[in-house]
Amino acid sequence: MPDSSATLQKPAIEAFGASDADLANSIRILAMDAVEAAKSGHPGMPMGMAEIAVALWTRHLKHNPANPHWPDRDRFVLSNGHGSMLQYALLHLTGYDLPMAELRAFRQLHSRTPGHPETAVTPGVETTTGPLGQGLANAVGMALAERLLAETFNHPGHAIVDHRTWVFVGDGCLMEGISHEACSLAGTLGLAKLVAIYDDNGISIDGATSGWFTDDTPRRFEAYGWNVIAGVDGHDVDAVSRAIASARNERGRPTIICCRTTIGRGSPGKEGSAEAHGAALGEREAAATRKALGWTHPPFEIPQPIYDRWNARSRGADDERAWSARFADYAARYPDLAAEFTRRTAGDLPDGFERAASELVAAQLAKAASIATRKASQQAIEAFARALPEMLGGAADLTGSVFTNWSGSIPVRRSAPAGNYVNYGVREFGMAAIANGVALHGGFIPYVGTFLTFSDYMRNAIRMAALMHIRSILVFTHDSIGLGEDGPTHQSIEHTASLRLVPGLDVWRPCDSVETAVAWREALARRDGPTALVLTRQNVAAAPHGADAQASIARGGYVVADFEGDGRRAVVIATGSELPLALAARTAVATEGIAVRVVSMPCTQAFDRQDAAWRASVLPAGVARVAVEAGASGGWYRYVGAADSAAAAVIGIDRYGESAPAGVLFKHFGFTAEHVADAVRRVVDAKT
C-alpha cells in the first residue's frame, strides 16, 4: 500500500480557498459517484490520474471551454478511455457545456456522457477512445497534422498554428501493438509537440501487470527517439507540472512522462488493486473514501471555491482572443493564406473541386483506357491533389504498388518542411489510426493505402473512423484473385463483403477509370464518413458509359447496358473487374432470346441511399437476377433475392484463393462469361 490516503485531506476549503488536493479530490469524488450512480464504469483510473489532470489542466493546457473548436487549441486525448469520467469531470469543472445533470446521467441512454469518450457527443472530446492504444495513435496523427499545418501556414512572427497534443495512456495502451507502430513513427518524425503521460500503476484488469507486462517503458521510448521523463510521482502536482514544463521546452522529440500512480487512489479498501479498475466501489467503500479524503459534500455537489479554481473560461477566452488578434494580423499581411487556412480548417473543399472532378471524369471517358483501377486511382489523386493541398497521402510501404503518390508528392520527413506524403512504413493499423487523428485535427483529408487483404490489420481503426463520421479515405488495391501469383495469403476474398458490414463506411469497387474517378470524387466530397476504395491490380476494360456517367455512377448502382428486344429477361449485377464478364454474358445469351440488363453496382451503400424510385428503376421487380463478384457471396442475396430461390444466383468465391496467374484463377473459380451466361439461363428458366 502507498502512503495513507489521509494525507490527501485538505479541510476548510471555504476558509482557505481550494487547494490542488481539493481539485484532485473533486475529480475522484465525481468519478466515484458517477460510477456508483450508473453502477457501471471505471473509477480507478480517474482516481489515480487526478493529480496529473490537475497539473495539466490548470497549469498548462491551452483551451477555451466556450469554444471547443478554436483551431489553435491544444488537443487532449484520453487514450485510456475507460477512465471517461476523468474527462467528463474535467470538462464539467473547467466550464465546458457539460452540466452536472450529464454527469449524473453517466452511461445512460442519450446522455452526453457515454461509457467511453465519444467525439461529437461531448463538447471537448477530440476523439472517440476506448479501444486501447488507438487514442495514442490518433494523438500522433493530431501532432503530425499540427506540424504540417504550421509548416504550411506559419510565417516568421506569425505563428498561427502553435499548439500541443497531450495524451493520457495506461498500461493497456502501451501493451497494445499499435502503440509501437504509432510511437515508433512519431519518434522518427520528431513530433516534438506530442506529449504522452503514462499512468504507470502496475495494474490492469487481470491484476498486477508484473505477470505480463515487464517492458522497460522508459528505455523502450528512448529507443524510439523520444524524450523520456521517467520516475515522476504522479500524485505530486508540482512534480508532474515540472515534468510537463520540461516537455514543453523540448524542441526535437516527442515526450513521454512516466508517472508512478496508484489506481483508485483515495479508496482505503481498493486503492492499488485491480478491484478499483472497472466497477463501482460500492456504497460502503464510497463512504469510506469520502471519509478518508475528508470530503463532506453530497454526491454531485462541488463547492464554489473548487469550481472557481477549475474554471478555465476566462483564461481560455484570453488565449483565444490573443490568437484571434494574431490571426487578424496574419490575415492583413497574408490574406490569401488566411482565407485558405480558414477554408481548410472548416473542412470545406476549394472552388476548383467540382471542376477538377468533371474534367477528370470527362478525360477518362474520352480515353476509355483499359487500365488497372489502382492506376486510375493514381490518376484521380493526381487530378484532385493539384486542386486540394489538404490531401495528405501515404501508404504502408507499398507506394509503388498501391499508387497513392502523385507527381506533387513530397515526403514527410523529420527535418524537411511541409511534406504531403507519409511513408507510414509497414504499420497498417497505426497508419489508419494516425490518419484518423489527422482527419480529427482538421486541415487535411488523409488518404492511406495498402493491399485490400491487409485491411484486416486496420480493421478497428476503420470502424472508429466510421463511428466518428470522419473523412478518412482508404485506398485498398490488389483485390481478390486478380492479384494472381502472390496466392491465397494476399487474395482478399471476404474483405470487400466484410467492409460493407461496417455501418457508415462507403465501399467503392469501381469497374474502370471512369467509375474510379467518380468514387474518388464522392470520397472527397463526403464530409460525414470514411470511404474505402477497392481497386484492381490488373487492367480492366473501360465500360460503356453515357453522357450522364458521373451522375449515374454517383448513385452507386446504375444501368450500364439495358434490355434489348422482347423475350425473357434477367438483370446481372456486377462490380469491379467482373463487369466485363456480365457484359459478355449479356451478348452471349442475346441470340437465345434472353434480354439482359447489366447493372454496375460500385457502391452498395450509395445505391441504398437512393430513393425507392431509382432503386426500382435499376432493379425492376419480378425479373430474375444474377450477381457477380469475385468475393464472399453472402451479401449479394440482398440484391438478387433469396439464396434458396432458383431465380436468383450469385457467382462469388466462398473459399480461399490459389497461387496462379490471374487469368488462370478467374477461369478456375468460374469467372468466365460462359459461366455467367449459364447462371442467367438458369435463373431465367426458373422464373418462367
Q: Which residues bind ligand TPP (CB under 6 A)?
A: 44-45, 80, 82, 130-132, 170-173, 176, 199, 201, 203-205, 263, 277
Closer of 170 and 556 to Mg ion (Cβ): 170
d(CA 334, CA 394): 30
- The least distance separating ligand TPP from the CB of residue 82, rounded to whole angstroms, comes to 4
Closer of 137 and 571 to ligand TPP (Cβ): 137
The helix (run of H) or strand (run of E) holding residue 134 is: helix 134-153
Cell, residue 211: 505477470
Closer of 273 and 645 to ligand TPP (Cβ): 273
- The least distance separating ligand TPP from the CB of residue 244, rounded to whole angstroms, comes to 20
Q: Within 13 Å of residue 495, how many CA atoms lie on the same side as its CB?
A: 31
Closer of 41 and 65 to ligand TPP (Cβ): 41
Closer of 72 and 428 to ligand TPP (Cβ): 428
Binning the chain into helix, strand and coil, the percentages to the nearest 5 are 50, 15, 40
One of 126, 390, 428, 578 is an active-site residue; which one?
428
Q: Which residue has the cell 512519431?
A: 186
CA of 86: how far to CAs of 25, 297, 316, 591, in Å?
11, 19, 20, 71
283 is a catalytic site residue? no
d(CA 358, CA 208): 60
The helix (run of H) or strand (run of E) holding residue 208 is: strand 207-208
The pairing of strands 165-169 and 194-200 is: parallel
- The least distance separating ligand TPP from the CB of residue 116, rounded to whole angstroms, comes to 8
d(CA 117, CA 126): 9
Report the partner that residue 515 touches, choosing among Mg ion, ligand TPP, none (CB closer than 5 to 8 A by kind): none
The yes or no reply on residue 203 touching Mg ion (CB under 5 A) is yes
- The least distance separating ligand TPP from the CB of residue 272, rounded to whole angstroms, comes to 11
- Residue pair 660/671 in contact (Cβ under 8 Å)? The answer is no
- The least distance separating ligand TPP from the CB of residue 171, rounded to whole angstroms, comes to 3
Q: Which residue has the cell 495513435?
A: 137
- Residue pair 270/251 in contact (Cβ under 8 Å)? The answer is no
Helix or strand or coil: residue 1?
coil
The pairing of strands 165-169 and 75-78 is: parallel
Instruction: Spell out the residues 6+ positions from residue 321 whose beta carbon is closer than 8 angstroms to its own.
Output: none
- The least distance separating ligand TPP from the CB of residue 95, rounded to whole angstroms, comes to 26
Report the partner that residue 124 touches, choosing among Mg ion, ligand TPP, none (CB closer than 5 to 8 A by kind): none
Length of the chain counted residue by residue: 688
The pairing of strands 194-200 and 255-260 is: parallel
- The least distance separating ligand TPP from the CB of residue 368, rounded to whole angstroms, comes to 47
The secondary structure of 532-561, three-state, reads EEECCCCEECCCCCCCCHHHHHHCCCEEEE
Closer of 431 and 626 to ligand TPP (Cβ): 431
- The least distance separating Mg ion from the CB of residue 391, rounded to whole angstroms, comes to 39
Among 102, 171, 285, 320, binds Mg ion (CB under 5 A): 171
- The least distance separating Mg ion from the CB of residue 388, rounded to whole angstroms, comes to 42
Among 25, 26, 201, 364, binds Mg ion (CB under 5 A): 201
Among 46, 130, 133, 170, binds Mg ion (CB under 5 A): 170
From the centroid of its chain, how far is CA 68? 20
- The least distance separating ligand TPP from the CB of residue 194, rounded to whole angstroms, comes to 19
CA proximity to 209, closest of 279, 281, 272: 272
Q: Which residue has the CB atom at the shortest distance from Mg ion?
A: 171
Instruction: Spell out the residues 6+ positions from residue 653 whose beta carbon is closer than 8 angstroms to its own.
Output: 480, 481, 493, 630, 631, 632, 633, 669
Binding part of the chain for Mg ion, among 4-12, 68-76, 164-172, 668-676 by CB under 5 A, reads: 164-172
- Residue pair 203/272 in contact (Cβ under 8 Å)? The answer is yes
Instruction: Spell out the residues 6+ positions from residue 444 whose beta carbon is closer than 8 angstroms to its own.
Output: 145, 148, 149, 344, 390, 391, 392, 438
Report the partner that residue 82 touches, choosing among ligand TPP, Mg ion, none (CB closer than 5 to 8 A by kind): ligand TPP
Q: Which residue has the cell 444501368?
A: 559
Report the partner that residue 512 touches, choosing among ligand TPP, Mg ion, none (CB closer than 5 to 8 A by kind): none
d(CA 465, CA 447): 12
The helix (run of H) or strand (run of E) holding residue 597 is: strand 594-600
Closer of 216 and 592 to Mg ion (Cβ): 216
Closer of 172 and 482 to ligand TPP (Cβ): 172
CA proximity to 639, closest of 673, 610, 674: 610
Angle at 387 between CA 386 and CA 392, to 5 degrees: 70
Residues annotated as catalytic (active site), given as ranges: 428
Q: Which residues bind Mg ion (CB under 5 A)?
A: 170-171, 201, 203-204
